[in-house]
Structure 1
Amino acid sequence: MKQTDLLVIGGSAGGILAATMARKAYGDIKVTVIRDTERVMVPCGIPYIFGTLRDTAKNVIPDAGLLGAGVELLIDTVTSIERNEKYVKTKANGDISYKKLIVATGSEPVIPRFIPGYDLENVFPVFKEETYLQNVLKKLDAAENVSVIGGGFIGVEFAEQIRKLGKNVTLIELADCCLWQAFDREFSDHLEEQLRENGVDVQTGTRVSRIAGEGAVESVELADGRSIPADLVILGLGMKPNAALAKEAGLALND
C-alpha cells in the first residue's frame, strides 16, 4: 500500500495552500495531493474566461507551486475514505494510507431544481472543470441572447463579461438589489447603474417562473408574465460545499 504523512484530497485553492504550508512548516514530512482534473482553474477568474481572457488556458493555476514545494501530485479520484484504518481508496492508484488527512474538495454550484427547465440544453451552472468551461465558451460564441439568473458575485461578473462580447445580456435577481449579501444599497445601486450604462438589462425584484424551450432553452419566463428571449442561460445562484465524500466517510458537517 502506498503511504504518505499528509494526504490532501482536492487540488484547488484550499488544497494547494494546505499542502504547501504543511511542507513549509514541517519540511521533512511527505505530503501528497490527489485531484481528479489535469489542470485547475483559478476559481475567481472563471467569469473572465468568457470576456477578457477568451481561453481557459489563461486561467490555470500552475502546478509549479506544489511541485516546487516538494509535494507529490496524483491525478486520480478518491472513491472512499476509510477513517478507522486511515487510508483512502482510489480509482487508479489503489489504496493510500495516511497519518493525517485534509479534505479540501471545494464547492459546487447550486442547481435550482425548483425552476422548471433548469436542465434544458444551453442552461449552464458554473462548474469549475476546464473541459466543461470550454464547452460553455463555445456555446456562448454562438449565442445572441443570454440570461444570467442570480445577482451575486458570480452572476454580476458573468453578465459584465458576456456583455463585452456584444451579446444581449439580461441579469435577473430575485432580491431588490444585486450583491445585497455583501454590500449596502448605495453600493448596489451604483453597481447596477454601471451595468445598465454598459448595456446589461438588470432586472431586480424579479422571480423566474420557468426556463422554456423545446429541448434547448428559448426563453426565460418571469412570474410577472414577461418572457425574455434567451438562447443561453447562466445559473449563478451561488455555491455549496462539495461534501459528498466527507459525508460518506461520516465526518461531521455543518448543515
Structure 2
Amino acid sequence: MAGIVIVGGGQAAASMAARLRASGYVGAVTILGAEPVPPYQRPPLSKGYLLGEMPLDRLTLRGDDWWAANGITLRTGTRVEAIDRSARRVRFAGGEIGYDQLALCTGATPRTLPEAVGGTLAGVFTVRTLADVDAMAPEFRAGRRLAVIGGGYIGLEAAAVARKLGLEVTLIEAAPRILGRVACAETADAIRRLHAAHGVTILEGTGLRRLTGTAHVDGAELMDGRRIAADFAIVGIGVAPETGLAQAAGLTIANGIAVDAFCRTSDPAIWAAGDCAAFPWGRERLRLESVGNAIDMGETVADNMLGAGRAYQARPWFWSDQFNAKLQIAGLNTGYDRVVSRAGEGESFWYFREGALLAVDALNDPRAYMVGKRLIESEKSVTPEQVAGAADLKALLR
C-alpha cells in the first residue's frame, strides 16, 4: 500500500504524522522535507536561537529516534518537483513515490525586495529558516549597524534581538505606523514605547527608495532623501504562501491552497494544512500564519484522512517576544470598530465589532490573555463597558 505522503517538513507535517500514529494508523507515512534538517520550531529562530539561548537540539520537534520508533519515513533535503494526480505519485530529484492520500504542508516564503532596490546585495537577509538565521548570525556583533525594513512582528523581533546584543538599530516602516495591518494603534503605541526605551530608532511613514552599496549593502536611502548607514539589513515585509507545486498540479488557489471546511483541496485525495492553506472563514478564505494553526490543521487533516469528517475550527492565537515583553494575542481583530484599553499586570487591548468581542492583545498581562481567549472561544457575550469596568476580569467568565 502506498500510504500517506506529507510534503513539507514543518510544524504542520510533524503534528499530522504524530496524530496519524496516535490514532492507530498503521500504513506507511512518509514526510518529504526540503530543508536538510528534521522538523523544528520556527518562532525561536529570531529570538532564543539567534540570541544563543536555545541550542539546535532544543529547536527540533522530535528526537531522531522518535521517527524510526514510530515507523515514519523522514526524508530531509528532498524538494518535491511535481505531483502526478492521475497516477497519485509525487516526483523529486532522484526519485518518486506513490500515495493513497497526499498532504501539502509547504508553508510560506518571505517576500523579498527586488534587485532594482538592492534586494540582492550581499548582507541583505530574510528570517524564515534555520539556514537564514545561521547565515545572518555572524553579523550580530555589538556596535554594528542594522537596518530593518518592515515594522511587522518579524522586523520588530529582529530589532529587539539586535539591540539586546548591542547593535545600533534603525527600523524603517513605509506605512504611517508599525503593525498597521495586524494591530490597533494602541498596541502599536505600546510596542513603539518599548522599542524607544531600549534605543531602537523607528522611522514610520517613510518609504525605502533603495538599499545602497555595490556588492555589499552599506546603507539605505529613504524616499524623503535621508540616508541611513548600515552594515547589514533584514527585510521583514511579510510572506507569501508556497503554492507553486499545488498550482502546477491544477489545484484551486485562492489566497493560498484552497481547502474546504475539512481541509481537503479540490482533489479529494489531497489535503493541505498550515501557512499555505486557505480555509473558509465566513464569506472569505483565511490563512493563519501561526504555530497553533499549523498544529490544529495538521491534526484535523490526520483525523479526516482516517474518516473523522471533522470540520476545522480555527482558534486563532499568536505571540511575540520583544525585549522583556511578551505580547499574547487571542482571536482575530478583522473589522473591529472599537478598542478598550486596560491596565492590569501589564496592558491589554480589547477589540470589538458592533459590541461583540473579537480579539485581545495582552502585553505582559497573562491574566487578560487567558480571560480573553476563554471568552472568545466560548463565544460568551461581553460588552465593552463590562471589560472596561471589571475590577476582576475573571468575573467576566462566570
Question: Do the two structures share a fold, i.e. TM-score over 0.5?
Answer: yes
Amino acid at match of 1:192: R
Q: Which residue of the partner structure matches residue 104 of structure 2?
A: 103
Stretch of structure 1 that moved more, 56-65 or 104-113 = 56-65
Q: Which residue of the partner structure matches residue 121 of structure 1?
A: 122
Q: d(CA) in 1 for partners of 2:230 and 2:21?
A: 49
**How far 1:29 moved relative to its partner?**
2.4
Q: Which residue of the partner structure matches residue 183 of structure 1?
A: 183
Q: d(CA) in 1 for partners of 2:63 and 2:81?
A: 23
Identity of aligned residues (%): 28
Q: d(CA) in 2 for partners of 1:206 and 1:14?
A: 37
Q: d(CA) in 2 for partners of 1:182 and 1:66?
A: 37
Residues 1:242 and 1:82: Cα distance change in structure 2 (over 3 Å): same
Q: Which residue of the partner structure matches residue 45 of structure 2?
A: 46
Residues 1:140 and 1:235: Cα distance change in structure 2 (over 3 Å): same
Residues 1:142 and 1:108: Cα distance change in structure 2 (over 3 Å): farther
Q: Deviations over 1:87-123 (max 9, x none)?
A: 111224x221110000111111001227611111101
Q: d(CA) in 2 for partners of 1:116 and 1:106?
A: 26
| Secondary structure in structure 2 of the residue aligned to 1:50 | helix
Q: Which residue of the partner structure matches residue 32 of structure 1?
A: 30
Stretch of structure 1 that moved more, 17-26 or 102-111 = 17-26
Q: d(CA) in 1 for partners of 2:15 and 2:67?
A: 9
Answer 1 or 2: higher relative contact order, Cα 8 Å, separation at least 6: 1
Q: Deviations over 1:103-155 (max 9, x none)?
A: 11111100122761111110112241x33421211233387110111111100
Residues 1:168 and 1:210: Cα distance change in structure 2 (over 3 Å): same
Amino acid at match of 1:6: I
Q: Deviations over 1:69-103 (max 9, x none)?
A: 432212222221111100111224x2211100001
| Maintained 8 Å contact 1:56/1:133 | no
Q: d(CA) in 1 for partners of 2:140 and 2:122?
A: 12
Of the three residues 79, 82, 96, the one matched with 2:81 is 79
Q: Which runs of 5+ in 2 are unaligned?
A: 256-398
Q: d(CA) in 2 for partners of 1:197 and 1:68?
A: 49
| Secondary structure in structure 1 of the residue aligned to 2:3 | strand
Matches within 5 A, 1:1-255: 4-39=2-37, 40-48=39-47, 49-51=49-51, 53=53, 56=56, 58-63=58-63, 66-75=67-76, 76-92=78-94, 94-113=95-114, 116-128=117-129, 130-141=130-141, 144-255=144-255
TM-score, reference length from structure 2: 0.59
| Secondary structure in structure 1 of the residue aligned to 2:51 | coil
| Maintained 8 Å contact 1:9/1:34 | yes
Residues 1:180 and 1:147: Cα distance change in structure 2 (over 3 Å): same
How much is the aligned-residue C-alpha RMSD, in angstroms? 2.1
Residues 1:212 and 1:105: Cα distance change in structure 2 (over 3 Å): same
| Maintained 8 Å contact 1:115/1:209 | no
Larger radius of gyration: 2
Q: May I ask how many residue pairs the two structures share in their alignment?
A: 251
| Maintained 8 Å contact 2:29/2:72 | yes
Q: d(CA) in 2 for partners of 1:115 and 1:42?
A: 33
Residues 1:244 and 1:89: Cα distance change in structure 2 (over 3 Å): same
| Maintained 8 Å contact 2:89/2:97 | yes
Q: Which runs of 5+ in 1 are unaligned?
A: none
| Maintained 8 Å contact 1:143/1:232 | no
| Secondary structure in structure 2 of the residue aligned to 1:141 | coil
**How far 1:182 moved relative to its partner?**
2.4
